[in-house]
Amino acid sequence: MHAFDVLGDPVRRRILELLADGERSSGEVTEVIRAEFGISQPAVSQHLKVLRDNGFATVRPEGARRLYAVDDTALREADEWLGRFRRFWAPRLAAMGTEVARGKRQRRLHDEGKS
């Protein structure tokens, strides 16, 4: 399965967001996903399996629990693929950063002038 096929599913993206904050048990992931998406525990397990099988997540047993974490292998591959397109948005992001800095500087100078 291609990385973007895996990432195209909102449930799997949300699971990755949860795992990006640190290792979580399958029970913790299931609890959040069931509350947000209303899907069953077996469905959450299937999404975790897809993430694991495609290099987005790792699992390690700890007693009866299964702890999941982000595996950056597939994310790096997706990032490499996106690399050829960065030229389309990188200059705009840089320009936006310049404008934000300019606005902060103008506010600072304005506020200093009031003192």
Would you say residue 106 has pLDDT above 90? Answer: no
Structure confidence at residue 105 as a pLDDT band (50, 70, 90): confident
Q: In terms of domains, do 55 and 29 share one?
A: yes
**Integer Cα distance of 97 and 94 in angstroms:** 5
Does some domain include residue 79? no
Does some domain include residue 28? yes
Most confident range (mean pLDDT) of 11-15, 61-65, 76-80, 91-95 is 11-15
Domain of 62, CATH number, reads 1.10.10.10
Arithmetic mean of pLDDT, 79-98: 78
Strand partners, 67: 25, 60
Q: In terms of domains, do 25 and 59 share one?
A: yes
Q: How many CB atoms lie within 10 A of CB 58?
A: 16
Strand partners, 66: 61
Structure confidence at residue 90 as a pLDDT band (50, 70, 90): low
Q: What is the pLDDT of residues 7-47, one digit of tens each?
A: 999 999 999 999 999 999 999 999 999 999 999 999 999 99
Does some domain include residue 21? yes
Phi, psi of 110 (to 5 degrees): -65, -45
Q: In terms of domains, do 38 and 90 share one?
A: no
